[in-house]
Structures are given as C-alpha cells and as structure tokens.
C-alpha cells in the first residue's frame, strides 16, 4: 500500500491542463493549514504501513523546516522516505536533505523542452524555464546517484507520431544517465474539451506504446512499468503489481491511502471526479469486477475477454463516462498491448494464462474470492489450485487397490 501524505493538499506551482486534481481546484477544495503531529498519528494508524510518500500538488511547497520534521520522523520510523514532485523546486539544500533522510525522489515530467509545455507555469517563457529546472534536477540527482523514478503522461503534445523520435532520444538519454524506471500514464480525460485538445486517439496511443516497447529492448537500464506489468500478468506473476491492475474499490482504494493535512484519511485522487475528497470506507467490495465479468462488452463490460483476469477492466478512475462501474475507456489500447506481449511470449515457447485451456477454472476461483469479499493475486490462486489438485491425486492414489498377480 502507498501512503500518500499531502500536507498542502493539491496546492501546486504549476497548472497542468490535464491534472486529475483540477476537479478539486474547480470546486474550491484547497487549504493551507496542516498539523504535523495529527498527520503522524494518522500514518501510524494505517495497517502494515512501511513508509509514506510526500505528495501533492507539489509537496516541496511545504516550508523546509516542516519537511525536515516529517522526513526526520519518517527516517526514524521507517528508515526511508519517498516524494513525488515536478522537480522545479529541487535545489542543493533539498538534495542534502534527501541524502540525510534517505528520501527516494520521484519526478513528473512529460519530456524535454517543448514536449513538456502542457505542464504550464503561466506563460510559455516561464513554462520552458520550469521545464529546464526539472531537467537540471534530474541530471543533478543522477550525478548524486539518487536516480529518480519518472512519471510521464502521454498526450498530443509529446506522443504523436511526429514526437516519438524526440521522446525516444530523451528516454535513451535518461537510460544513459542511469534512470531505471519510467511509469507511462495514459491521459485521464475528464471532459470532451480536454479530449479534443490533448487526448491521443486509440491508434496513436497504441503506436506510441509499441514504439516505446520496442525501444525498451535496446536500453541498458530503463524499464517502462506498463510493459513489465503486462508481461508479469500474462504469466500470473502478479504479486506487488501496479495498483491499476489490482481490483481497486473506488471507495477504499486499498493500494493508496491518502493522509491530508488535517489527518483525514482519503482515497486515491484518481477516483475523485466531483472535486470532493470522500472519507475512506473501511470495507472493500469487488462488485465492479463481478459485474464486468458478466456484462457484455458493448455495454461497458468485459464478458468473454480472455485478458479479463489480467486487466480487470483496468483503473476505475479511467472508466467509460467516468462511471467506475464500467471498464476503462482505454480498453482497445490495453487489449492491443496484451495481445502484443501474448504473441511475444508464445514465440518464446511460453503459454500465457490467456491461452490456457483451463482459464475458466481460474476465473471461477477469482469470482468466488471476490464474492467472499476478498482479493488475492492470480499467482496465489494458482498455487492453491495446484495444491488442491495434488492433494486430490494423493487421495485418489491411496484409494486404489494394488494390482494382484
């Protein structure tokens, strides 16, 4: 579970046009006050918490003295800290704090120079200056052997066909700098205006992802988490998989636990479509996934899709018509990617789960587990099924009388 601590909520020094937190800003749900002790108490009440991620908005807007209080406490309790930032505010003083308190930095940027223009800073000049600061911060962190994880959102400004060559060159540069992990985000679309201005078409999304998948085979260090996830899901090695594949209940978001400045526990912000932070429900439910399995695809479901157990309709935050009961609106793109890596596995002599003749047994087992109010990885289910099968075979062998001469 990721524990996202947001002292200043969604406050940010940039105004990214596609930000999924804009609904909260439009609703006026922003605040300036926070209480460090109250946040600490809330963090410690979360079951199995192993660390927390300082989040935003932009977390480095918090005064340095208070950041040091949080990080020194985090280091004392968990021996590590994490942070997700746009990187524009990182300077020598922050880097020294990162070293002192073992802070693992994450950087959100959509590309170099003009490819990052959607992450707006007020004017084009200020935006380009902010992007340069982020690029400088990435370089400096790599020089200090503090290689940041990267989040890159794909849209018309950086992932159309005309941009792919420049993006590949940038990823190659990051690879040479020692960056090992890039998370590709498909643009989340809250309204038709944004869709028309920024969203890639289905085919453009497929083309961009396959381009980067091909690039990954030529890189020394850098991996794209999407492709690693899909390959692991196809062979049911899905422990610790990214949360978007993990049967997320939008009322509990078990993979993400938010802690606001006043200590209130909230859900993953991607489920917040009306601008109001709902309190976290205590009991997860998996009705969405039971319904998707039985609902025909033309009605927003996943019936008869051989990749259902791997994809599970994907993140409810990207559901058709922003209705979490539906499958993701990016279904066609994800299907194409699963199919691509399915063929790759088969070419290597590996039979993916999607091509197993007894897939229905795994599906039925998963449906029964969801119906009981539980949720476990496919890998654990397969291990249980194998154990049961072995026990039945042993029992059967014991019941057979030995042949007599």
Q: Which of 224, 240, 271 is the last residue of a domain?
A: 271
Statement to judge: residues 66 and 137 lie in one domain: yes
Q: Is the pLDDT of residue 402 over 50?
A: no
Residue 263 Cα to chain centre, angstroms? 24
Statement to judge: residues 243 and 294 lie in one domain: no
Statement to judge: residues 51 and 117 lie in one domain: yes
Intra-chain end-to-end CA distance of the chain, in Å = 62
Statement to judge: residues 363 and 261 lie in one domain: no
Does the residue 377 lie in any domain? yes
Q: Which residues contact 38 (CB under 8 A, 6 or more apart)?
A: 262, 263
Statement to judge: residues 77 and 169 lie in one domain: yes
Statement to judge: residues 192 and 46 lie in one domain: yes
CA distance 99 to 112: 26
Does the residue 402 lie in any domain? no
CA distance 320 to 41: 37
Does the residue 398 lie in any domain? no
In this prediction, residue 342 carries a pLDDT of: 98
Interval 290-323: pLDDT, tens: 999 999 999 999 999 999 999 999 999 999 998 9
Helix (H, G, I), strand (E, B) or coil at 399: helix
Give the residues across from 319 on adjacent strands.
328
Output 171-177 pairs: Cβ under 8 A, ≥24 positions apart.
171/212, 171/215, 171/219, 171/222, 172/215, 172/218, 172/219, 174/138, 174/150, 174/222, 175/219, 175/220, 175/221, 175/222, 176/220, 177/138, 177/139, 177/142, 177/147
Q: Is the pLDDT of residue 401 over 50?
A: no
**Contact indicator for 337, 226 with CB cutoff of 8 Å:** yes
Statement to judge: residues 96 and 208 lie in one domain: yes
Helix (H, G, I), strand (E, B) or coil at 382: helix
Residue 220's Cβ-side half-sphere holds a number of Cα atoms within 13 Å equal to: 8
Q: Which of 245, 271, 297 is the last residue of a domain?
A: 271
Statement to judge: residues 25 and 115 lie in one domain: yes
In this prediction, residue 400 carries a pLDDT of: 40
Statement to judge: residues 187 and 329 lie in one domain: no
Q: Is the pLDDT of residue 76 over 90?
A: yes
Statement to judge: residues 16 and 95 lie in one domain: yes
Does the residue 401 lie in any domain? no
In this prediction, residue 403 carries a pLDDT of: 35
Average pLDDT over residues 360-388: 91
Does the residue 204 lie in any domain? yes
Q: Which residues contact 16 (CB under 8 A, 6 or more apart)?
A: 118, 119, 120
Q: What are phi and psi of 106, to 5 degrees?
A: -120, 140
Does the residue 92 lie in any domain? yes
Cβ neighbours, 10 Å, residue 162: 7
Helices (H) then strands (E): counts for the chain = 14, 9
The domain spanning residue 145 has which CATH number? 3.20.20.70
How many independent structural domains does the chain possess? 2
Interval 123-134: pLDDT, tens: 999 999 999 999
Does the residue 370 lie in any domain? yes
Average pLDDT over residues 158-167: 98
In eight-state DSSP terms, residue 79 is S
Q: Is the pLDDT of residue 151 over 80?
A: yes
Q: Is the pLDDT of residue 162 over 60?
A: yes
Q: Which of 99-108, 131-140, 263-272 has the weakest average pLDDT?
A: 263-272
Does the residue 131 lie in any domain? yes
Statement to judge: residues 291 and 244 lie in one domain: no
Q: What is the pTM of this model?
A: 0.91
Statement to judge: residues 18 and 91 lie in one domain: yes
Tell me the residue range of the domain where 162 lies.
2-271
Q: Which of 271, 302, 336 is the last residue of a domain?
A: 271
Residue 7 sits at the vertex; the CA angle it makes with 252 and 109, to the nearest 5 degrees, is: 85
* For the chain, percent of residues with pLDDT exceeding 70: 95
Cβ neighbours, 10 Å, residue 395: 9
Q: Which residues contact 1 (CB under 8 A, 6 or more apart)?
A: 46, 48, 49, 254, 255, 256, 257
In this prediction, residue 208 carries a pLDDT of: 98
């Amino acid at each position: 579970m990721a524990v996202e601590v947001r002292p200043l909520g969604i406050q940010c020094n940039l105004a990214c046009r596609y930000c999924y937190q804009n609904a909260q800003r439009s609703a006026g749900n922003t605040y300036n006050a926070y209480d460090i002790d109250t946040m600490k108490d809330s963090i410690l009440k979360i079951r199995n918490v192993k660390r927390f991620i300082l989040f935003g908005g932009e977390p480095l807007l918090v005064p340095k003295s208070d950041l040091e209080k949080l990080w020194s406490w985090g280091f004392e309790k968990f021996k590590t800290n994490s942070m997700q930032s746009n990187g524009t505010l990182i300077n020598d003083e922050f880097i020294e704090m990162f070293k002192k308190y073992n802070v693992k930095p994450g950087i959100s940027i959509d590309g170099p120079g003009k490819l990052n223009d959607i992450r707006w800073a007020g004017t084009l000049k200020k935006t380009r200056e902010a992007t340069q600061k982020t690029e400088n911060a990435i370089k400096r962190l790599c020089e200090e052997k503090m290689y940041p994880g990267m989040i890159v959102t794909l849209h018309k400004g950086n992932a159309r066909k005309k941009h792919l060559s420049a993006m590949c060159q940038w990823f190659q540069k990051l690879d040479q700098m020692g960056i090992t992990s890039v998370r590709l985000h498909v643009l989340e679309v809250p309204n038709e205006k944004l869709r028309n201005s920024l969203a890639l078409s289905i085919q453009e999304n497929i083309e961009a992802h396959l381009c980067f998948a091909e690039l990954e085979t030529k890189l020394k260090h850098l991996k794209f988490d999407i492709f690693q996830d899909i390959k692991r899901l196809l062979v049911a090695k899905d422990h610790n998989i990214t949360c978007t594949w993990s049967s997320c209940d939008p009322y509990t978001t078990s993979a993400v636990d938010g802690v606001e400045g006043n200590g209130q526990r909230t859900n993953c912000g991607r489920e917040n479509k009306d601008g109001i932070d709902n309190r976290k429900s205590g009991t997860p439910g998996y009705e969405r996934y039971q319904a998707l399995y039985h609902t025909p695809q033309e009605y927003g479901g996943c019936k008869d899709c051989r990749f259902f157990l791997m994809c599970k309709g994907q993140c409810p935050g990207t559901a058709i018509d922003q209705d979490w009961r539906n499958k993701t609106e990016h279904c066609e793109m994800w299907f194409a990617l699963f199919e691509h890596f399915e063929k790759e596995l088969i070419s290597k002599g590996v039979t993916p789960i999607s091509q197993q003749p007894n897939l229905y047994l795994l599906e039925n087992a998963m449906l029964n587990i969801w119906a009981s109010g539980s949720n476990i990885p496919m890998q654990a289910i397969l291990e249980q099924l194998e154990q049961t099968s072995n026990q039945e075979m042993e029992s059967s062998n014991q019941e057979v009388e030995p042949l007599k001469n």
